[in-house]
Homo-oligomer: A and B are copies of this chain.
Amino acid sequence: MQPVLIAGQWRAADASDTFQATNPNTREALPPRFPVSSWQDCDAALQAAAEAFEQLRSVPREKIAKFLRDYADNLESAKDALVESAFAESGLAKSPRLADVELPRTVNQLRLAADAVESGDWTCPVIDTQAGIRSCYESLGPVCVFGPNNFPFAFNSVSGGDFAAAIAAGNPVIAKANTSHPETTRLLAEQAFAAVQSAGLPAATIQLLYRTSHDDGERLVSDPRCGATGYTGSRRAGLALKAAADRAGKPIYLELSSVNPVVITPGALRERGGEIIDEFLTSVLMGAGQFCTNPGLVVLLKGGESDAFVEAVAKRFNEAPAGTLLSPAVAKGLSSSIQTLTDAGAERLAGDGSSASDRCAVSNTLLRCSGEQFLRDPETFQTEAFGNASLVVVADDLQQATAVLDSLEGNLTGCLYTATDGSDESDYQQLAFALAPRVGRLLNDKMPTGVAVSPAMNHGGPYPATGHPGFTAVGIPTSIARFAKLTSYDNVRPARLPCWLADKNPTGKTWRSIDGRWTQADVGE
C-alpha cells in the first residue's frame, strides 16, 4: 500500500479502507493500492501544517521562490514517468496533451508563482503616509486543496494553480489527491517534497492524503487549524464542503460545474460558418470535452444558417471517434446527464448513446431543444453533461435567445460570435447585456476552452460556477489573494513593518499604492 506524506514522513496511513485507480483505456484496475485515511491522518496533517505555518511566517521569501523553481525543475526531469503515470490513470494523450501542453503549463505556473513571491506584487501594498496606515496581504494558514480529475498536472492538488497560489502566499498545503489519479499525485508529491528539502522549507509545507470519508473531508475544511480551502470538482461534493467550511467561517474557493454558453448569430454563420464549425468541434471534442470551460450549450437563432450548422456538426460528431473518458465514473455521469436531457425532451442529433465496453467512452453526443423547451425548464436543460456532448438551443428570435441567457445560472464563460462587419451589432449589445452578468469571462469570436495564465484572466464566475464572484482560480498574481489575509499596520514603528510596507521599496520594483499613486519608488521619493 502506498504511503501518505504527513509531517515530512512518507509513512503508512491510518487507513479505514483502500482503493485503486482504473485505467480508462482498459477499464482495468491499476496495481498500486492507496489508503483511505482515517481522521487520525487528517488530524496529524492539520497539526503538522499548523506548526509549519508558524515556521513559514519567518522564512525568507527567497526560500519559497526557490522551492517553486526547484519543484518546476524536478517536474521537467521527471517528465517521462509523470506522463506515463498520468496517461495510465487518465487516458489523456501523452502527446501533445500531457507532455507538451499540460506539464509545461504546470511548470510555467510554478515559475510565475516564484516570480510573484519575489516581486511581492501579490501583497498589494497600500501606504497612506498622512494617516500613518499601511496595509498588505499576508499568509493565512494551512490550505487544503482538492484537485479535479481532468487535469492530472495543471490543477493537481499538489502541483496545480491552487497549490501554487497557496504556497506563493506563504501557506502550507494539505493536498487531497483526486482519486482517479493517485499514483500521478504521489509522484508529483515526491518531486514537491524533494524541493521542500532542497529549498530548506519546513518539512510539513507539503502533505498528501489520497482519500478520506466525506465526513472527514468536511471536518478537514472546517477545522480551526485550517486557513482556507481550494476545491475543483463536482458540484455536489463541492457544495457539501462549502456548507461545512461556511459554518466554521473558513474561506473556501470552489470551481464547480459550468455549461459555458456559446451564442452564434446567423450573421456570423453566414459569414464564416465553416470556420466556426471547426473551432467548435476542436473545442468541444478535444480531450473528450472534459474541460471546465467546455462549450456545453450553444444558442442559435432559428433559420437556415443554424440548421446548416447543426447538420454539419452532427455529421462530424458521428464521424469522429469518441475520445476516452477519464474514468468509469465520468462515463457513467455523462450517460446519465444525456439521459436527463433527453428525458426532458432534447432531441438526439448525433450519438447513439452507446458506451464502449473495453474502455471508458460514450459516443459523441449532440442534442437539440427549442428555446421554448429550454425556457419551460431551464434548470434541467442546464444539466452539465461533462464530456464529449453539447446541447444546441434553437431560439425563435432574438428576444427568446435573450430570455434563454437571462435564465442561466452562473457560468465560468460565455461566448458571442457575431458578424465582423458589424451588421448585427445591436443584437450583440442585447445578448452581451444579458450574458455578461452571468459569466466570469466574456469572449468574442473565440471558443472558451484554453484558459490563459494571465493576470487579466478570470477563471471564476457567479455562483454556482464558483462560490464567490470576485476571485479567479487562474492567473498570477491575482489568484494568490484567495489564500491571503488583509492586515493594516496603524502607527506601527518603521522597523517593525513587513518589508512590503517599509519606506524603502524592498525589491526596487514592487508595485505599491502610495498616497493614491501606484509606484515602484520608495516612500517620499
A interface list, Cβ under 8 A from B: 57, 126-128, 131, 133-135, 137-138, 140-141, 242-243, 246-251, 410, 413, 428, 432-433, 436-437, 439-446, 452, 454-458, 460, 462-464, 467-472, 478, 481-482, 484-493, 496, 511, 513, 516-519
Q: Is the CB of B127 within 8 A of A456?
A: yes
User: Given the complex, which residues of B lie within 8 Å of A460, measured CB to CB?
Assistant: 486
Q: Smallest Cβ distance from A290 to chain B, in angstroms?
A: 21
Q: Is the CB of B487 within 8 A of A442?
A: yes
Q: Smallest Cβ distance from A149 to chain B, in angstroms?
A: 23
Q: Is the CB of A443 within 8 A of B140?
A: no
Q: Is the CB of B488 within 8 A of A440?
A: yes
User: Given the complex, which residues of B lie within 8 Å of A455, measured CB to CB?
Assistant: 126, 128, 513, 516
Q: Is the CB of A485 within 8 A of B456?
A: no
Given contacts A131-B454, A442-B489, A446-B490, 7 further A-B contacts (CB under 8 A): A133-B457, A138-B437, A140-B469, A246-B247, A249-B467, A437-B485, A470-B481
Cα A134 to Cα B442 with chains together (Å): 10
Cα A117 to Cα B441 with chains together (Å): 23
- Contact pick for A441, options B464, B487, B493, B518, CB 8 Å: B487
This chain: how many copies in the complex?
A: 2
Q: Smallest Cβ distance from A508 to chain B, in angstroms?
A: 14
User: Given the complex, which residues of B lie within 8 Å of A458, measured CB to CB?
Assistant: 135, 486-488
Q: Is the CB of A436 within 8 A of B478?
A: no
Q: Is the CB of A456 within 8 A of B488?
A: yes
Q: Smallest Cβ distance from A53 to chain B, in angstroms?
A: 9
Q: Is the CB of A433 within 8 A of B463?
A: no
Q: Smallest Cβ distance from A420 to chain B, in angstroms?
A: 9
Q: Is the CB of B441 within 8 A of A488?
A: yes
User: Given the complex, which residues of B lie within 8 Å of A469, measured CB to CB?
Assistant: 140, 251, 485-486
Cα A462 to Cα B457 with chains together (Å): 27
Q: Is the CB of B487 within 8 A of A436?
A: yes
Sample of 5 A–B contacts (CB below 8 Å) = A128-B456, A243-B246, A249-B410, A444-B493, A470-B481
Query: Could you say which of A243, A486, A493, A513 has the most chain B C-beta atoms within 10 Å of its C-beta?
Result: A486
Which 6 A-B pairs give the minimum distances between C-beta atoms? A249-B463, A518-B518, A458-B488, A246-B246, A441-B488, A128-B456
User: Given the complex, which residues of B lie within 8 Å of A457, measured CB to CB?
Assistant: 128, 131, 133, 135, 488
User: Given the complex, which residues of B lie within 8 Å of A413, measured CB to CB?
Assistant: 490
The closest CB in chain B to the CB of A433 belongs to B57
Q: Smallest Cβ distance from A262 to chain B, in angstroms?
A: 13
Q: Is the CB of A443 within 8 A of B491?
A: yes
The closest CB in chain B to the CB of A121 belongs to B516
Q: Is the CB of A486 within 8 A of B513?
A: no
Q: Is the CB of A492 within 8 A of B443?
A: yes
Cα A272 to Cα B342 with chains together (Å): 79
User: Given the complex, which residues of B lie within 8 Å of A478, measured CB to CB?
Assistant: 126
Contact (A249, B464) CB under 8 Å given A432-B496, A457-B488, A492-B444: yes
Query: Could you say which of A57, A243, A458, A511 has the most chain B C-beta atoms within 10 Å of its C-beta?
Result: A458
Q: Smallest Cβ distance from A294 to chain B, in angstroms?
A: 16
Q: Is the CB of B135 within 8 A of A445?
A: no
